[in-house]
Amino acid sequence: MRSPGPFNEPFCLSGPLEEEYSKPNPGEQLQDYMERNLYNIVSKRVLITKKELVNATTYKIEYEEEIDEVLKSIRYVYKVKNDIYLLTYCSTATYFNAYPKQAEAIMKTLKIDGTLKNIK
């Protein structure tokens, strides 16, 4: 049997290989990216673990504060259960110290189990 394409290639009777259609989990892609790129240029990393009470449920939140002195940027990597939230702030030396407060304010709103929760 011939395909209707311009080159008349024969159809593949066995179908496409399974690998061709398997896509990596988005979390795995982010983790790979972080391992390849972000961790190579960070000058200082601090792991912070805390518990937050949201609607009568306590969640353990882990986040890393990464300061990159080369690129003059600060990143916050949040992990809530299996979800990873990556926040990057670039800055100049002039307002570099203003970013932690801004990042903390934004990252207090996180998705937990697919629902947007305001963490106070």
pLDDT at 51: 74
Structurally, the chain folds into a number of domains equal to: 1
Which pLDDT tens digit goes with each residue over 24-81?
666 676 667 666 665 555 567 777 777 767 677 776 666 777 777 666 676 777 766 6
Q: Is the pTM of this model over 0.75?
A: no
The strand order across the sheet containing 44-54 reads 44-54, 57-68, 73-80, 83-90
Residue 67 within any structural domain of the chain? yes
pLDDT at 15: 46
Of the chain, the percentage scoring pLDDT greater than 90 comes to: 0
Which pLDDT tens digit goes with each residue over 98-114?
555 655 665 566 555 55
The residue range of the domain holding 77 is: 18-118
Residue 32 within any structural domain of the chain? yes
Residue 7 within any structural domain of the chain? no
Residue 9 within any structural domain of the chain? no
Question: 26 or 8: which carries more pLDDT confidence?
Answer: 26
Distance separating alpha carbons of residues 73 and 37, to the nearest angstrom: 14
Residue 113 within any structural domain of the chain? yes
Residue 13 within any structural domain of the chain? no
